[in-house]
């Protein structure tokens, strides 16, 4: 029996169906370039189209395959016109976070050479931070539990637990320490910045207290910032951030702001990580407005493939996979640094084919 690592592949809907094969082609090429064996890919039909076809968006069998896989790669899911009987959206990607206890949502945010940022300051070219969004509690703990009283008052309740805050804080410090070991030029002094609203809400004051307890056990620098002030820092000096840790809802909002700093959703990869499982997916949605036009930017999905190889390489102590992950990052940089690629969301005409071919060529040229 093959002992290849097994990847559950969930392309999903909309441009998820387009960017997933692009990302996996780059993953295959990077593995070959690094001398590593290919991954075994198990395609699964999950999402809005699966719901239309079968009446269920995320079958028990697909759940079991995801649970047993070594990693999960996801495109994007949901379509505006497809709703469940109660009117709610099809969001198996959120179900997965709860099913597999993926408490750390990691959104690496790095300026890619050759991709314009909306900030005029030249230091924007050095933006390189990772936002860690706690992904199983916070305000999202209220998912499916909010209620309206007498058509007069509505309630959603935030929950912060000690156990998850300790775990995700330790995760953020570990991540900062790993990032500091990157090759010269990429490394920066490790620091974890907690973003909260501890001056107003008891739940955030508790989150900060638990974070401080974890920080006291580490040598890495710790900082704290209120969420309102953080939005100013995101615009005025985002290059000063290293690792950011924040609550689920704040992370939902701040991660889109972060993507905006480096060119938009098409450049924002993500990893949802737990103790035993991880899902890798571009941070964008299914973008129904451009699906089927060839305009989708596959960079976020390609970089998510690189994050998957990095995570698998670390977890299974396979240096060739770590190399393959680095190859993907370098190839993306090399492809865009030529200045010939300008994607549609930035006013250019480079679509999925051109970007994928550019990155594949860079992988093969030994970027």
What b/e string do you get for 62-78 counting C-beta neighbours within 10 Å, with b at 16 or more?
Answer: bbebbeebbbbbbbbbb
- Please select the residue that binds ligand ATP; options are 108, 266, 269, 306, rule is CB under 6 A: 266
What b/e string do you get for 7-22 counting C-beta neighbours within 10 Å, with b at 16 or more?
Answer: bbbbbbbbbbbbbbbb
C-beta of 11 vs 266, nearer to ligand ATP: 266
Residues, the chain, total? 367
Residue 286 sits in the site that holds ligand ATP (CB under 6 A): yes
- Please select the residue that binds ligand ATP; options are 27, 168, 290, 331, rule is CB under 6 A: 290
- C-beta neighbour count of 85 within 10 angstroms: 5
240: left (phi over 0), alpha (psi -120 to 50) or beta: alpha
Largest CA distance in the chain: 65
177 to 236, contacts with ligand ATP by CB under 6 A? Answer: none
- Please select the residue that binds ligand ATP; options are 244, 296, 328, 334, rule is CB under 6 A: 296
11 to 70, contacts with ligand ATP by CB under 6 A? Answer: 15
- Please select the residue that binds ligand ATP; options are 78, 105, 190, 325, rule is CB under 6 A: 78
Least distance (Å) from ligand ATP to the CB of residue 80?
8
Return all residues near 47 (Cβ < 8 A) that are at least 6 apart. 10, 12, 13, 16, 57, 58, 77, 78, 90, 92
Least distance (Å) from ligand ATP to the CB of residue 17?
12
Residues 311/316/320/324 CA torsion (nearest 10 deg): -20
Residue 343 DSSP code? B
Stretch that binds ligand ATP, among 62-70, 278-286, 328-336, 353-361 (CB under 6 A): 278-286
Residue 345 sits in the site that holds ligand ATP (CB under 6 A): yes
Least distance (Å) from ligand ATP to the CB of residue 102?
17
Tokens representing 225 are 């910032």
> What's the CA gap between 294 and 344, in Å, rounded?
10
Least distance (Å) from ligand ATP to the CB of residue 289?
5
> What's the CA gap between 327 and 323, in Å, rounded?
6
- Please select the residue that binds ligand ATP; options are 63, 179, 284, 326, rule is CB under 6 A: 284
Least distance (Å) from ligand ATP to the CB of residue 249?
15
Least distance (Å) from ligand ATP to the CB of residue 273?
20
C-beta of 265 vs 327, nearer to ligand ATP: 265
Upper half-sphere CA count for residue 156 (Cβ side, 13 Å)? 9
C-beta of 246 vs 286, nearer to ligand ATP: 286
- Please select the residue that binds ligand ATP; options are 287, 312, 321, 328, rule is CB under 6 A: 287
- Please select the residue that binds ligand ATP; options are 263, 285, 305, 306, rule is CB under 6 A: 285
Residue number, nearest CB to ligand ATP: 285
Stretch that binds ligand ATP, among 61-69, 180-188, 214-222, 281-289 (CB under 6 A): 281-289
Place of tokens 């990772």: 130
Q: Are 22 and 15 in contact (CB under 8 A)?
A: no
Interface residues with ligand ATP (CB under 6 A)?
15, 78, 265-266, 284-287, 289-290, 296-297, 300, 344-345
């Amino acid at each position: 029996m093959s002992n290849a690592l097994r990847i559950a592949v969930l392309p999903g809907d909309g441009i998820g169906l387009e960017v997933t094969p692009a990302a996996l082609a780059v993953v295959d090429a990077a593995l070959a370039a690094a001398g590593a064996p290919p991954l075994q890919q198990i395609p699964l039909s999950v999402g809005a189209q699966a719901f239309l076809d079968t009446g269920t968006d995320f079958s028990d069998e697909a759940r079991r395959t995801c649970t047993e896989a070594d990693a999960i790669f996801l495109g994007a899911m949901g379509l505006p016109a497809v709703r469940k009987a109660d009117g709610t959206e099809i969001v198996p990607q959120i179900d997965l976070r709860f099913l597999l206890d993926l408490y750390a949502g990691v959104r690496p945010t790095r300026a890619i050479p050759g991709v314009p940022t909306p900030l005029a300051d030249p230091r924007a070219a050095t933006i390189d931070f990772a936002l860690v969004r706690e992904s199983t509690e916070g305000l999202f703990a209220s998912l499916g539990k909010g209620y309206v009283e007498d058509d007069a008052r509505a309630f959603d309740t935030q929950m912060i637990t000690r156990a998850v805050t300790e775990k995700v804080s330790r995760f953020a410090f570990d991540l900062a320490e790993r990032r500091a070991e990157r090759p010269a030029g990429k490394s920066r002094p490790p620091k974890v910045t907690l973003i909260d609203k501890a001056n107003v809400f008891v739940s955030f004051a508790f989150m900060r207290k638990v974070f401080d307890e974890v920080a006291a056990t580490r040598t890495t620098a710790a900082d704290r910032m209120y969420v309102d002030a953080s939005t100013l820092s995101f615009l005025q000096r985002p290059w000063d951030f290293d690792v950011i840790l924040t609550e689920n809802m704040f992370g939902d909002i701040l991660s889109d702001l972060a993507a905006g700093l480096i060119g938009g959703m098409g450049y924002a990869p993500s990893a949802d990580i737990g103790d035993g499982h991880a899902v890798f997916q571009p941070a964008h949605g299914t973008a129904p407005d451009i699906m089927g036009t060839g305009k989708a930017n596959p960079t976020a999905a390609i970089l998510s493939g690189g994050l998957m190889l990095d995570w698998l390489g670390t977890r299974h102590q396979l240096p060739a996979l770590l190399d393959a992950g680095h190859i993907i990052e370098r190839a993306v940089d090399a492809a865009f640094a030529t200045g010939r690629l300008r994607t549609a969301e930035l006013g250019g005409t480079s679509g999925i084919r051109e970007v994928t071919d550019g990155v594949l060529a860079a992988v093969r040229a030994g970027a």
